[in-house]
Structure 1
Amino acid sequence: MSAISYFTWNAGAERATRPCVRDDNTALTYDQFSARVDAFASQLSARGLGKGDVIAVMLPNRVELLTAMMAAWRIGAVATPVNPTFTQPEALYQIRDARARLVVTDDPDPVPGYPVISIDEIDTETTIDGGGGFDDQDPDDLALLIYTSGSTGRPKGVELTHTNLEFMASTMAQHFSLTHDDHCMLILPLFHVNAICVSVLAPLIVGGQVSITGRFSPSRFFDDVERLRPTYFSAVPTIYALLASQSDDVVRDTSSLRFGVCGAAPISKELLDKAESRFGLKIVEGYGLTEGTCASACNPPNGVRKLGTVGPALPGQTIAIADEQGTLLPVGAVGEVLISGPNVMRGYLERPDETARTVVDGWLHTGDIGRLDQDGYLTLVDRIKDMIIRGGENIYPKEIENALATHADILEAAVIGAPDVVYGEVPVAYVVTYPNTKVHEAELLDHLRERITKVKLPVAIHIVDSLPRNPVGKIDKPGLRLALRTPAVEPVR
């Protein structure tokens, strides 16, 4: 049985004194972090927990969250990270659905019906002799239960094994050319697989280091970059939008950064250009699903980057485009994006029918619409469920959003379908402008008329201060649709 290479207790002696993880209060070497993991693993074992048990970790980003997750793996258990901002009903749904036996939390209120270890009860000091007699972990053991955002129904537990995670961490390290000198500044929430794989496991697998920063703000981001000197970070489009919207007199030293990663949601070419030129930062856009253990395509930091695409398939994975019957389509054709490789999830927890509909003959059906070019670079067209059918005509909101993004004053845009008594559905746009700019709906409609056909024109363009987000930073289009369940609007003439 091969050793799992992101387990810090498997790191060689040459890494013992190297920086491993830190947050605002703690900085640990590989040996120090591994000792903490062993101490907490021993504590969990003493509570009767072991192989196959599920441990819920409901903590904000901090070293103790990683300690708890690794300690669960140390005893062969499964970790399910829970969003610490969840309401009690939301948290209890995940904890119960995952069949968790214990909750690690900093919430002063106990979780009804579940044993709890509070953050100040975590044992970090007990000396474990010779690894504490912990059994070796099987790469095919379940490692994580990551819950989907629930935008299409009740959240589902995605089962990811250590094989899934090791493949993804190794792929990320290879694609980004990571070495032990790399240092990731972690700013995304650790209840999401992006942060776990890209920002934690990928640097640890090569002996690099991770700095966990507090709640994101542009000023804090630049302070942390200057102080910590990271070599890369991973973020969502919202964060890049906030950074790009900083006033011109904000001049900070970002020279330590080799690149930034953008994922979780599409980003416009215009915003990428603005963020890159503003701070001299190379940004690579990627694409993936929780069901595919984070990432399946990504533009390379070193190599051909095609802005507007999410790059080629990552090493070891295959991306294909299929029609509604599942027949594979040729280069340039538009259809559903399918993914295969060792990154595809084991399945949805206790949902065999949904698993069978999502993974067919080894292909993960993503629900995304896209096309591949002759070089294998993937362009996302839209989500299948986001498509608007206006009087029998298919309209992809992303096409309208991309056209809006070409206006110099537009920072972000979201387009959804609104009910209409004549056409069934019509497009409605919500836009956020850059600070200190003024733009009117009529001006934006004129801008769109030069770029898209009349049938695609939004019937209304709402200029808003911000767009709603789900817990992982994606624009909450279901929430926008819910708000639009009002009497029909008149179409643009």
Structure 2
Amino acid sequence: MHIAELPELRARRDADGPCTADEASAMDNAAFARRVRRAAATLRARGIGRGDVVALLLPTRRTSSSRSSPPGGSVRRSPVNPALTEGEVRYQLGDAGATGVVTAEPSPRVGWLTVAELDAAHEDTAAPGTDADALALLIYTSGSTGRPKGVMLDHANLAAMAGMMIETARLSEADHSLLILPLFHVNGIVVGVLSPLLAGGRVTVAGRFRAETFFDLVGAVRPTCFSAVPAIYSMLAELPDRIRPDTSSVRFAACGAAPMPPALIERFERRYGIPILEGYGLSEATCASTTNPLDGPRKPGTVGLPFPGQQVAVMDPQGRILPTGATGEVVVRGPNVMRGYLGRPEETARALVDGWLHTGDAGRLDEDGYLVLVDRIKDLIVRGGENIYPKEVETVLGDHPDVLEAAVVGAADPRLGEVPVAFVALRPGASADAAALLDHCRARLARFKAPTEINFVDRLPRNPVGKTDKPALRARTTAVTVAG
């Protein structure tokens, strides 16, 4: 079955069966299929068809069919993080070549339409395209140069990843996914929505996450699974002791995006009785490549075993696969690996070599085949599940007229995992203070990318070859607690 056929298949099998819901309403399978048909008709009437890109600039709610439906067979979708600044959104839309943009609120801009407009047309009865090689999603992820790149995922990638998730987690029509991750991330799309729907289950979209009310929602909707990032598990583990929720419906919770401290896993599992399946993946591999197993030993401190159908290995700089226990670059091979980066053949060629996806992460495989992440080869900072590349922040700081040079490193944070901290050398005679530089960053970057603190230095430290000595800067950072 092609993913684009899923709405009609569910409607034929069980028209009245539950499909998707949020805090405001619920849709059965028949209603879900009708909304998909109306959305298709609206896009067709706007002249948007095969090969065109439609960007989704929406909050994480069910919002008709546009967020929760599977990617159509002919139109490519590119979800946009609503926290991005206008300039960042403009860049993604231009790079993706978006023909249309779906928003929650009306906009006078040409090609922009609302969710309400998607739901207003007569139903389109034309059969969707079912080409497995057709591009389905453009997921944007920052590159090591700081320029966001469009990861091209086709329908075959999505089908392969969802099938792996269904097999590994034993998903079935009895499963009910509670979506708390944003739908501009491939995790939310594939793990939170697509996999349970393909398995015959259903999805409830939680909207904005609040630790204080999360377990009230769990008790009300009775999910069997959910996926989150370590920062969320940390907030839940820190809830007052008087909160003793009923979590008996939940079979497992998945964790990704950043390493989760073993002590936090133990504390969460002991308190709530929910097994955490910590895994590892990236957008370029359609979400996930390893996971601690539902059946079998779960090893805290590792990110588990390869998903069925994927190969995970560790290579040296010459491209040779290393033996068990040796540290090198983590590489991945399988039908879930992306087609490449949109419009970036050179970067694609560096990432995809002889069928292997080079992740840029360093790790090793233990004696049982479990992957242990050692460090990131790239300078990626993961703040509460959000990826931040220092170069992008450094470029913005460097644009300030008072800044001579800047470097950004990750500092440990007990809740968010890491936060970006900047070291700045000012030009002679300049008078900019930390508040001015932070305002400068916040005006040009999404809020989660802005540094949490700025340290002024006379000059940045250099290593023997003249590069900024970031290990020395990291050694100067201290744990930072971020409010709110």
Distance 2:70 2:122 in 1: 13
Match of 2:93 in 1: 95
1:439-483 deviation digits (Å, cap 9, x = unpaired): xxxxxxxxxxxxxxxxxxxxxxxxxxxxx9xxxx9996x947x94
TM-score normalized by the length of structure 1:
0.78
| Range with greater deviation from structure 2 (8-17 or 210-219) | 8-17
1:120 aligned onto 2:113: no
Match of 1:16 in 2: 15
Aligned CA distance change for structure 1 residues 370 and 430 (closer, same or farther; 3 Å): closer
1:159 aligned onto 2:157: no
Question: In 2, are the aligned partners of 1:261 and 1:283 still within 8 Å (CA)?
Answer: yes
1:191-227 deviation digits (Å, cap 9, x = unpaired): 0000000000110111100000121011221111010
1:159-186 deviation digits (Å, cap 9, x = unpaired): 0000000000111011000110000000
Q: Which amino acid aligns with 1:270?
A: A
Distance 1:145 1:300 in 2: 29
Match of 1:55 in 2: 54
1:69-88 deviation digits (Å, cap 9, x = unpaired): 748615x1100001122221
Q: Which amino acid aligns with 2:414?
A: V
Question: In 1, are the aligned partners of 2:7 and 2:36 still within 8 Å (CA)?
Answer: no
Distance 1:65 1:39 in 2: 10
Q: 2:63 aligns to what SS in structure 1?
A: helix
Question: In 1, are the aligned partners of 2:81 and 2:184 still within 8 Å (CA)?
Answer: yes
**Equivalent residues in 2 for 1:27-176, closer than 5 Å:** 27-64=26-63, 66-67=65-66, 70=69, 73-74=72-73, 76-111=74-109, 114-123=110-119, 126-128=122-124, 132-150=125-143, 152-176=145-169
Residue 485 of structure 1, CA deviation:
6.2
Query: Structure 1 residue aligned with 2:304, among 305, 311, 320?
Result: 311
1:191 aligned onto 2:184: yes
Give unmatched runs, 5+ long, in structure 2: 383-387, 391-406, 417-440, 462-471, 477-484
Q: 1:133 aligns to what SS in structure 2?
A: coil
Residue 14 of structure 1, CA deviation:
2.7
Question: In 1, are the aligned partners of 2:231 and 2:415 still within 8 Å (CA)?
Answer: no
Question: In 2, are the aligned partners of 1:264 and 1:474 still within 8 Å (CA)?
Answer: no
Higher relative contact order (CA 8 A, sep 6+): 2
1:335 aligned onto 2:328: yes
Distance 2:415 2:194 in 1: 36
Distance 1:474 1:260 in 2: 28
Question: In 2, are the aligned partners of 1:41 and 1:72 still within 8 Å (CA)?
Answer: no
Residue 151 of structure 1, CA deviation:
6.0
1:217 aligned onto 2:210: yes
Question: In 2, are the aligned partners of 1:37 and 1:68 still within 8 Å (CA)?
Answer: no
1:486 aligned onto 2:457: yes
Distance 1:198 1:104 in 2: 23
Give unmatched runs, 5+ long, in structure 1: 388-396, 399-413, 417-424, 435-467
Question: In 2, are the aligned partners of 1:180 and 1:208 still within 8 Å (CA)?
Answer: yes
Distance 1:123 1:190 in 2: 19
Root-mean-square deviation (CA, aligned residues, Å) is: 3.0
Residue 16 of structure 1, CA deviation:
2.1
1:204-263 deviation digits (Å, cap 9, x = unpaired): 111100000121011221111010000000000000000011111111111111110000
Match of 1:462 in 2: none
Match of 1:432 in 2: 414
TM-score normalized by the length of structure 2:
0.79
Distance 2:135 2:167 in 1: 24
Q: 2:349 aligns to what SS in structure 1?
A: helix
Distance 1:115 1:71 in 2: 22
